[in-house]
Structure 1
Amino acid sequence: MDAGSAATDAPRALLDELSLTAGQYVHEFGYDEDVDHGLRERLEGALGTELQPEEDQEPVDAVLVWWRAEDGDATDLADTLVDAQLSLEEGPVWVLTPRKGREGHVDPADVQEAATTAGLHATTGAGASEDWAAVKLVQKRGG
């Protein structure tokens, strides 16, 4: 594979990893200075659209939630996940938390508890960021 081909495949690989396709709209919650700006830029480039801010109420195809320990407990995350689903037509919710050993790390059990409370369940993880762990949440069947 030549360098040009690898550069073309990188955005597609990121979208595949996050179960997204070019042109989709993604709602972003929890944006702050500490997010992975490189991941955001790569994602926006691959999507061909900007990430939609938390305040936006337009229908979206997926949601990205940045969550840190200081943002609250599992109940607070569940509330955010419920809010995040209000504009979600049908698609995944990605929760990104600082990786173990990093400031703001969130116990995966807290993410699972919040997901269950919000009517979601965890399916897979993604390695899209060096500093942030990502878990994909989807709506429970029949819910």
Structure 2
Amino acid sequence: MVAAADAQNFAQKLGITHGMVVQELGWDEDTDDEIRADIEDASGGEMVDEETDEVVDAALLWWREGDGDLADELMGIVGPLADDGFVWVLTPKTGNPGYVDQSEIAEAAETAGLTSTSAITLGHWSGSRLVQPKTPSKQR
């Protein structure tokens, strides 16, 4: 019962709610299926991949050291992202193979025109939430 209660917190921690379109990038054999399942349960649908034509409310990027240029990857994610959408960069936790330092994520985010707003831990993964800065015309 405890595991199920913990699993329900993944989507909640990520800010995923029913009806959201969530894009998943960087899937590999090491990704956490509990996190993935909880996101799909909470959103009410399957996650879409990089081939989608839909506007996405959230993007989930599984990222590991050696996966390439994070700034380039983030610039590609911004295209289909809704104005108020957000990106979660999930990397292996400190000390695990593939770990990416938070400063690298923040630097790549800045290059891609995104701002890092918060960080969380989900199982064996660390998450960094990135958003597009508000433009004066969009502020209230």
Give TM-score scaled by structure 1 length.
0.84
Q: What are the equivalent positions in structure 2 for 1:1-143 lying under 5 Å apart?
A: 11=8, 13-72=9-68, 76-89=69-82, 90-127=84-121, 129-142=122-135
Cα drift, residue 124 of structure 1: 0.8
Structure 1 distance, partners of 2:63, 2:10, is 20
Cα drift, residue 41 of structure 1: 0.8
Contact 2:17/2:43, CA 8 A, preserved across alignment? yes
Check 1:105–1:20 CA distance in 2 against 1; reply closer, same or farther (3 A cut).
same
Structure 2 distance, partners of 1:10, 1:93, is 20
Structure 2 distance, partners of 1:41, 1:10, is 9
Structure 2 distance, partners of 1:26, 1:95, is 13
Question: For structure 2, which runs of at least 5 residues remain unmatched after alignment?
Answer: none
Seq. identity, % = 44
Contact 1:14/1:46, CA 8 A, preserved across alignment? no
CA RMSD of aligned residues (A): 2.1
Question: For structure 1, which runs of at least 5 residues remain unmatched after alignment?
Answer: none
Structure 1 distance, partners of 2:7, 2:66, is 33
Total equivalences in the alignment:
134
Contact 2:25/2:49, CA 8 A, preserved across alignment? yes
Contact 2:16/2:42, CA 8 A, preserved across alignment? no
Give TM-score scaled by structure 2 length.
0.86
Structure 2 distance, partners of 1:10, 1:33, is 19
Structure 1 distance, partners of 2:106, 2:30, is 23
